[in-house]
Amino acid sequence: MPRILQLRGLRSLATGERRRLPSGLPAGRDELIRTNRIQRNCILVFVLVLPTLAALRLQSVSDSVTPDEVKLILQRSVEAGKTSWKAAPGYEYVETDVQKDGGTKTFAELMILGSPYERLIAIDGKPLSPDQEAQEQKKLTATISRRRNESPEERNQRLAKYEKIRKRDRSLMEEFTKAFDFACIGEQEVGGREAYVLEATPRPGYQPPNRETEVLKGTKGRLWIDKQSFNWVKAEAEVIKPVPIVGFLARVEPGTHFELDAMPISNDIWLPSHFSMKTRAKVLLVFSHESEADESYYGYHGGAQY
């Protein structure tokens, strides 16, 4: 899935490890793909794994959906979400990212011998020049060769790094069941599909167990669950009050907003189609830091065998 982006950083807010979005929800573009800053990591996981929430304190303010029905919706989405989560690493796809200057870069997101690789294929919607294409092909060939010839220890380390990210996200999922209260606020058509709309608000008294989950205290969100398949169609998250992260070195500020859209890849597998982000933070509680992202994901297909 593309997968949307994780953060750690300041560890630093300005840099981060890259990681593959489709795992649910990226060092160099040729290694574990798509990981961004601390607030991005937490929210991305938020929108990718929200369907796995089963033991939440539920309520409904919709006349058409009772609290018991909300509970059933979430239970059904648990099953659907797990299916997509497990299947995501088996898909390759194309990703187009909007750059700061307004241009775009397009990448083929590949799985090579068990972990992700990102190959540049177009700039501003135009194919690479012959020289650029040759350079990218050379890097891809070198990566395939290196991975084929790595020692058992090296391979285990590479795969363990990728799995560590996925396991971290799974542990974050468990925290979401504790961090938010959910309510069904109605139904809405999204992308031509009818969906239940669930609102998530911070649960009073929630105590984050680590710094990666600190941002949840000041975040609210909304999730659209498809009425037919019970997969999520759209998710939004917004920071509504300042939240310290990385100890007292940085703080996520109100105005930080994330949005993720998903689409059906098959009858029971849904993966991201678009991700946008605007973040505001203060580093050392003095220096303002802002960033934006706009990424589209498409062309999903089963991963090639290398």
Indicate if the pLDDT at residue 188 is higher than 90: yes
Indicate if the pLDDT at residue 301 is higher than 50: yes
Show Cβ contacts of residue 62 under 8 Å, excluding neighbours closer than 6 positions.
184, 185, 186, 187
Phi, psi of 70 (to 5 degrees): -60, -40
Provide the percentage of residues in the chain whose pLDDT is more than 70.
73
Indicate if the pLDDT at residue 108 is higher than 90: yes
Domain ranges of the chain: 21-300
| Strand locations in 203-268 (E) | 219-226, 232-239, 243-245, 250-252, 257-264
Q: Which two tokens stand for residue 223?
A: 């999730």
Show Cβ contacts of residue 141 under 8 Å, excluding neighbours closer than 6 positions.
none
* Predicted local distance difference test score (pLDDT) of residue 245: 67
The confidence band for 68, taking pLDDT boundaries of 50, 70 and 90, is confident
pTM for the model stands at 0.77
Mean pLDDT of the chain: 78
According to the per-residue pLDDT averaged within each range, which of 9-13, 99-103, 182-186, 215-219 is highest? 99-103
Q: Which two tokens stand for residue 278?
A: 């605007």
Residue 280 bridge partners (DSSP)? 290
Indicate if the pLDDT at residue 6 is higher than 80: no
Indicate if the pLDDT at residue 305 is higher than 50: yes
Indicate if the pLDDT at residue 70 is higher than 70: yes
Question: SS3 of 30, please?
Answer: coil
Indicate if the pLDDT at residue 65 is higher than 80: no
Closest CA relative to residue 22, chosen from 144, 117, 106, 140: 117
Q: Which two tokens stand for residue 282?
A: 């203060």
* Predicted local distance difference test score (pLDDT) of residue 119: 97
Question: How far apart are alpha carbons 213 and 54 in whole angstroms?
Answer: 19
* 114-125 average pLDDT score: 96
CB of 95 closer than 8 Å to CB of 109:
yes
Residues in the chain: 306
CA dihedral sign of residues 67, 73, 79, 80 = negative
